[in-house]
Amino acid sequence: MEFLQKLHIDNDNNGVSTGLEWPAANGEKLFSYSPVDGKLIAAASGADKSNYDAVIAKAKEAFAKWRLWPAPKRGEIVRQIGEALRNKKEELGKLVSYEMGKSLQEGYGEVQEMIDICDFAVGLSRQLHGLTMHSERPAHRMYEQYHPLGVVGIISAFNFPVAVWSWNSMLAWICGNVTVWKPSEKTPLCGIACQKIVAEIFAKNNVPEGVSNLVIGGRDVGEWMSNDVNVPLVSATGSTRMGKAVGAAVGARLGKSILELGGNNAIIISKDADLDMSLVGAVFGAVGTAGQRCTSTRRLIIHKDVYNTFTDKLKNAYKQLRIGNPLDEHNHVGPLIDKDAVTMYLSAIDKCKAEGGNFIVEGGEMTGDGFESGCYVKPCIAEVKNEYSIVQHETFAPILYVMKYDGIDDAIAMQNGVPQGLSSAIMTLNLREAEAFLSHAGSDCGIANVNIGTSGAEIGGAFGGEKETGGGRESGSDAWKAYMRRQTNTINYSTQLPLAQGIKFEF
Ligand code: UN1
């Protein structure tokens, strides 16, 4: 396939890199099969512990030099990476679509998110501001600075195999850090392709080897990073189970972590909603990326007066969904990531039925021509109660749960009544309801939208959520602060040494 050649992906790839150097990987080999057609795309050799240790040593060496580069100069490098990504958007978007299975448009969209975060980071490289304060002592000055942390570990998930790494790495780099990336074992080739794009730009600009590092491998690599005092910050995106393990290990050594974990996102559809607009938000949110976004819409909380009308609209829209090869732009829904994901989807449907769920759009596996990979499923819709244990759980698949409400307070309580707290939305033209939803007594999520669905956040805002979603923030706003250490500086330019709080200490 031409796009693989253009991205320098071979049949057998090395999965350990410090930039231009690819030291021989001694760990297990990962085989990347496309969920699109079930074919083996290529293999990638993973790292063993000695590979990992060597990468960390190189990264630390690089940090000692990279942190001395003025931040806007680091920004200039990221600007060039953004340019390289613009040039490679087509190939990289295709690889994302082929290796992960999301629609081609969404593959391109993901690369666009990378370009956007590069632009954002370039500007930010001149704005790593701290505050200044007035000292309580005469002829004293106080201010704060932000300094880089060192080696930042990045653990990313299969569903956004390139964008989430870029949110973390572009910010980490302009802040003066070096990065060690463990991509999902389900999408190693996306990791290799990104590393190659970046390494070229770094080398051209004489950036030290070891600023961008790649360590392909399984769970072990995540454990090494989480337990490693040489990695002051671990940013992990994935399941709540993984995040709890990473958070506990990093916390035990009092390191820092940014956790972006599961969501169980709901849209409240008010009786005052624009129902046509709501339909687009709900359907894209539920079936886009085959329901495998952290921000995918899992639940619709619909006002009783519009419940029948809206569920009829949903049924009608679902009839028109085209399921199939995601590289064919006519299709709306591609495959799940692998057969294990199909098994989880089927078992969630069974559990939902056992708890009393009533499927108004039936699910099931797709078989026959074009579905040979065994990873394609039908998006489905079930009428449920919010308390069902399956509804309380995040299933990474296109299963949409619908439920009825009467008053807005109940709707907000249902929206909040799950362990996760990533994204949430209300569809309403009623100002009182919208403001109540956004208020301190409203949605408890990190993202709360009005007249927009739950998925498809822009990079400019801080991205992340509360409760079991982990509390971390990535991407825009002031998320960069998590990649730096804050230092308060007090300078005395007087001839005395007055003590704070007026304390007298004489001898
Ligand atoms: C994720 O699913 O981990 O808001 C990230 C969105 C995307 C990012 C999702 N911008 O849907």
Listed as ranges, residues in the chain with pLDDT below 50 are none
117, 289, 294, 297, best to mutate for ligand 1 pocket (most atoms within 8 Å of CB)? 294
Q: Specify the pLDDT at position 432.
A: 97
Report the separation in Å between the CA atom of 396 and the middle of ligand 1, taken as the mean of its atom positions.
13
Report the separation in Å between the CA atom of 455 and the middle of ligand 1, taken as the mean of its atom positions.
6
* Strand positions, DSSP E, 293-438: 297-303, 358-361, 380-383, 399-405, 420-421, 423-427
**pLDDT tens digits, 131-141:** 999 999 999 99
**Which of 185, 260, 433, 474 is an active site residue?**
260
Atom 11 (ligand 1) nearest CA:
456
Q: Specify the pLDDT at position 1.
A: 87
> Does pTM top 0.95 for this prediction?
yes
Q: Specify the pLDDT at position 304.
A: 98
Report the separation in Å between the CA atom of 123 and the middle of ligand 1, taken as the mean of its atom positions.
22
Cβ-based neighbours of 257, under 8 Å, separated by 6 or more: 233, 234, 235, 236, 246, 247, 250, 251, 472
Angle at 240 between CA 295 and CA 408, to 5 degrees: 50
Concatenate the DSSP letters of all residues of 270-331 into one string: -TTS-HHHHHHHHHHHHHGGGG-STT-EEEEEEETTTHHHHHHHHHHHHHTPPBS-TTSTT-
Pick the closest to residue 97 from 197, 10, 216, 4 (CA basis): 4
Separation of alpha carbons 230 and 270, rounded Å:
50
Please tell me if the CB atom of residue 237 comes closer than 6 angstroms to any atom of ligand 1: yes
Report the separation in Å between the CA atom of 457 and the middle of ligand 1, taken as the mean of its atom positions.
6
Q: Is 387 a catalytic residue?
A: no
Report the separation in Å between the CA atom of 437 and the middle of ligand 1, taken as the mean of its atom positions.
22
* DSSP summary character for residue 217: -
Please tell me if the CB atom of residue 293 comes closer than 6 angstroms to any atom of ligand 1: yes
What tokens does 224 get?
């090494």
Residue 292 CA, closest ligand 1 atom number: 2
**pLDDT tens digits, 266-293:** 999 999 999 999 999 999 999 999 999 9
Separation of alpha carbons 170 and 180, rounded Å:
12
The answer to whether the CB of 273 falls within 8 A of the CB of 428 is: yes
Residue 459 CA, closest ligand 1 atom number: 10
- Beta-carbon neighbour count of residue 432 at 10 Å? 10
Residue 296 CA, closest ligand 1 atom number: 11
160, 297, 298, best to mutate for ligand 1 pocket (most atoms within 8 Å of CB)? 160
Residue 458 CA, closest ligand 1 atom number: 10
Report the separation in Å between the CA atom of 422 and the middle of ligand 1, taken as the mean of its atom positions.
10
The answer to whether the CB of 124 falls within 8 A of the CB of 174 is: yes
Q: Are strands 297-303 and 265-269 parallel, antiparallel or unpaired?
A: parallel
Q: Specify the pLDDT at position 7.
A: 97
The answer to whether the CB of 184 falls within 8 A of the CB of 44 is: no
292, 455, 459, 475, best to mutate for ligand 1 pocket (most atoms within 8 Å of CB)? 455
ipTM above 0.90, yes or no: yes
**pLDDT tens digits, 165-202:** 999 999 999 999 999 999 999 999 999 999 999 999 99
96, 108, 293, best to mutate for ligand 1 pocket (most atoms within 8 Å of CB)? 293
Report the separation in Å between the CA atom of 456 and the middle of ligand 1, taken as the mean of its atom positions.
6
